[in-house]
């Protein structure tokens, strides 16, 4: 009897120890929740933990956890994904399990579609487009218009029909563990809907076949593309967790130049704009990308919204916008920034606070290569704020705002009008982040 009682006691103790560890880490941190008597948590029905960033505010973020069997799908092709998503206005809870890698640039039968396929029948030709809008003859004072611009827009619209996936409210899209789950060449569009979860997916090669030339963009003009890998527009209660974002296999260094400017086929990785609100972005990997995360589409986006929590992510090989924040209340904590140039992606800055953004950045870790200056970590327009502390540069506590302000005429303010309260999982020291985040972030970690 004594031996039996002892075994039960051990079992209870194991359960209590593991459960305590889970509570400390926060279920939203993506840990596998288990005890001696229970199976691992079902990823597809997992919801955001209480107090885990802005997306836990109010009603919280539960995605499609209430989906019935008829609205639970496993998809492995573009056509299956489109069918599972259904209408963007249908609010019925749904769970979509992505098994393997879905190529967005395919037709309904699974046949590969190329840029030439999208251009076919539109009259678009890059050669003709370059000739029509050469600044030497067309000038630099107005956007392209006329036959070739209409043809470019038509070709772009054909591609958009294939690669843009509109996500309805109350949806969980989760990669099936062990299948290298992800979407290549596509964009999840989460627009004017509430309560969406995106987890355990690799987003790669989101490319626009038909960038538009804008001679009025900057001093020398720019080629601008459509399609973020994930885009939030007027979306609320969104949880993006354990995903990987990359331009690969085509890096920007391989882009040609036309009119002396890079022919940019990539846009954002994960953009949060047009009044989006109550968003938590955690334990993702952002790598090999230029304009990575935009919060607020303009300086007049939406006052009182754009509340975003960004924590325990890895940023490596990122040029800028990690994030670029406007207007909102943004909490950036326990992230790892490796600013070493990777595959030609040379860093300009990490965090940009502008248009009166209220950023709290605390307990993050920056790895700077030899000769790099902490003053280059931040950027701003003179109206934004960055508060917080405990940020480390190569292991040393560093006042990033002071470093930036000492080298810049457009000073970043150091006070904000809010205090973060939804901070489950906040680590008070950034020292261990280079080690701990190496094995706990990105797609493929969750089991």
Task: Give the active site residues.
Answer: 321
Render the burial of 36-75: b for 16+ CB within 10 Å, e for the rest: eeeeebebbbbbbbebbbbbbbeebbbbbbebeeebbbeb
Query: How many Cβ atoms from other residues are within 10 Å of residue 441's Cβ?
Result: 23
Closest CA to 71 of 92, 97, 87, 89: 92
Cα(379)–Cα(301) distance, integer angstroms: 19
Strands (E), 242-388: 244-246, 257-258, 261-262, 270-273, 277-282, 285-291, 294-295, 308-311, 314-320, 324-326, 329-333, 336-338, 351-354, 358-362, 365-367, 378-380, 385-387
Taken in order 105, 110, 114, 117, the sign of the CA dihedral is negative
User: In this structure, what DSSP letter does residue 304 have?
Assistant: T
216 SS3 class: coil
User: In this structure, what DSSP letter does residue 54 have?
Assistant: G
Closest CA to 263 of 341, 317, 207, 334: 207
Cα(380)–Cα(312) distance, integer angstroms: 23
Cα(444)–Cα(174) distance, integer angstroms: 11
Taken in order 153, 206, 447, 21, the sign of the CA dihedral is negative
Q: Which of 111-118's residues contact partners 24+ apart within 8 Å by CB, and which partners?
A: 113/162, 115/159, 115/209, 115/210, 118/155, 118/156, 118/158, 118/159, 118/162, 118/209, 118/210
Contact 23, 52 (CB under 8 A): no
Cα(200)–Cα(181) distance, integer angstroms: 7
Cα(66)–Cα(78) distance, integer angstroms: 24
């Amino acid at each position: 009897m004594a031996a039996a009682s002892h075994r039960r006691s051990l079992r209870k103790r194991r359960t209590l120890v593991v459960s305590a560890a889970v509570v400390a880490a926060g279920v939203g941190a993506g840990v596998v929740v288990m005890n001696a008597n229970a199976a691992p948590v079902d990823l597809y029905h997992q919801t955001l933990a209480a107090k885990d960033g802005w997306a836990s505010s109010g009603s919280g973020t539960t995605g499609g956890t209430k989906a019935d069997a008829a609205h639970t799908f496993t998809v492995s092709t573009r056509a299956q994904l489109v069918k599972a998503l259904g209408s963007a206005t249908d609010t019925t809870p749904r769970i979509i399990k992505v098994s393997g890698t879905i190529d967005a640039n395919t037709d309904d039968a699974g046949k590969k579609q190329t840029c030439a396929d999208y251009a076919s029948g539109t009259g678009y030709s890059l050669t003709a487009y370059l000739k029509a809008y050469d600044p030497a003859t067309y000038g630099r004072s107005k956007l392209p218009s006329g036959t070739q611009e209409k043809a470019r827009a038509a070709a772009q619209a054909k591609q958009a029909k294939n690669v843009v996936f509109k996500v309805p409210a109350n949806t969980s899209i989760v990669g099936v563990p062990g299948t290298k789950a992800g979407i290549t060449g596509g964009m999840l569009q989460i627009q004017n809907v509430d309560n969406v979860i995106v987890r355990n997916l690799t987003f790669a090669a989101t490319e626009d076949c038909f960038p538009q030339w804008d001679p009025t963009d900057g001093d020398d003009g720019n080629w601008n593309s459509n399609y973020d890998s994930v885009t939030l527009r007027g979306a609320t209660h969104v949880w993006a967790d354990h995903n990987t974002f990359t331009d690969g296999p085509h890096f920007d260094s391989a882009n040609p130049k036309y009119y002396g400017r890079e022919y940019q086929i990539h846009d954002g990785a994960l953009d949060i704009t047009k009044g989006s609100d109550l968003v938590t972005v955690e334990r993702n990997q952002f790598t090999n990308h230029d304009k990575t995360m935009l919060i607020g589409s303009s300086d007049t986006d939406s006052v009182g919204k754009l509340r975003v929590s960004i924590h325990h992510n890895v940023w490596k090989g990122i040029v800028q916008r990690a994030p670029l924040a406007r207007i909102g209340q943004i909490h950036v904590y326990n992230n790892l920034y490796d600013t070493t140039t990777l595959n030609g992606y040379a860093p300009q800055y990490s965090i940009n606070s502008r248009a009166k953004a209220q950023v709290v950045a605390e307990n993050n870790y920056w790895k700077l290569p030899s000769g790099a200056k902490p003053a280059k970590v931040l950027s701003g327009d003179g109206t934004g704020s960055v508060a917080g502390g405990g940020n480390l540069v190569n292991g040393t506590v560093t006042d990033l705002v002071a470093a930036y302000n000492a080298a810049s005429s457009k000073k970043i303010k150091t006070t904000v009008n809010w205090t973060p309260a939804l901070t489950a999982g906040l680590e008070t020291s950034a020292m261990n982040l280079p080690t701990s985040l190496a094995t706990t972030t990105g797609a493929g970690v969750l089991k």
